[in-house]
Amino acid sequence: MLDDIPAAMRSRMAELEALDRAQRAGAAPPARWLRTVDREAGRLITVLAGCAPRAGTFVELGTGSGYSTLWLLLALRERAPRPRLVTIERDADKASLARVTFERCAVTELVEQRVGDAASELRTLGPLAFAFMDHGPSNYEACRDGLVTALVPGGLLAVDNVDSHRRLAARFMRRLAADPRVETCVLHVGKGILLARRRR
Ligand SMILES: C[S@@+](CC[C@H](N)C(=O)[O-])C[C@H]1O[C@@H](n2cnc3c(N)ncnc32)[C@H](O)[C@@H]1O
């Protein structure tokens, strides 16, 4: 999965990492930042997605530039039959940028892109094998119950930014940890990833 990243993906990942760094250094106002996951967090979600059950859809909330979607695709391309991957982004400009990412990497047909609000789109997806939540900690709580309900037994939910935005994510984390349908832990990788697994 991680040892043979196609050249087009490697090159697009490097380009987006450089753009993210430049924006944070002052090249763009914070509202326009891509806010890509850290590289090590990208590697982690690839491995986690590779551990998800066979049955069910894979979903990403917060496509951004498509950077994290590329990491998820590395896990999916090894599976047969290949699971459905849906990625949801509210901002039309970011969704266009992600479309360019997918075209450049020749993976457009492997990703179902949705432009809209994550909480509303989620209701249309059916059972989930894997979910990656990265659409801003203040939006997590609105999706929590819907996601846990949709996860198949053994299904995984990975959530970014729980260390970097501890206060904003606190209520969501407390409620998720108290949900008897899942078991949870926090991985201090990148900006902090909370992992929940649906009990069988
Ligand atoms: C941290 S960025 C995503 C970065 C991306 N996962 C990556 O690593 O490349 C968060 C994204 O979530 C989007 N977003 C914010 N609120 C949303 C919502 N309610 N529904 C869908 N997307 C949302 C933002 O527009 C932004 O592009």
Q: Which pLDDT does position 121 carry in this prediction? A: 97
Distances (CA, A) of 72 to 32, 37, 104, 180: 23, 12, 16, 27
The number of the ligand 1 atom at minimal distance from the alpha carbon of 64 is 27
Closest to 132 (Cα-Cα) out of 199, 41, 55, 200: 41
Preceding peptide of 137 cis, ω within 30°: no
Closest to 162 (Cα-Cα) out of 183, 136, 129: 136
Query: Which domains, and CATH codes, for the chain?
Result: 7-198 (3.40.50.150)
Closest to 67 (Cα-Cα) out of 5, 4, 151: 5
Q: Which pLDDT does position 78 carry in this prediction? A: 84
For 96-127, how does the pLDDT look when each residue is reduced to its tens digit (9 = 90+)? 999 999 999 999 999 999 999 999 999 999 99
Residue whose tokens read 């119950």: 145
Rounded distance, CA 35 to CA 20, Å?
A: 6
The residues near 105 (Cβ < 8 Å, ≥ 6 apart) are 6, 8, 9, 12, 70, 73
Q: Which pLDDT does position 22 carry in this prediction? A: 95
The CA 136 to ligand 1 mean position distance, Å, reads 6
Q: Which pLDDT does position 130 carry in this prediction? A: 98
Rounded distance, CA 5 to CA 35, Å?
A: 22
Q: Does ligand 1 come within 6 angstroms of the Cβ of 198?
A: no
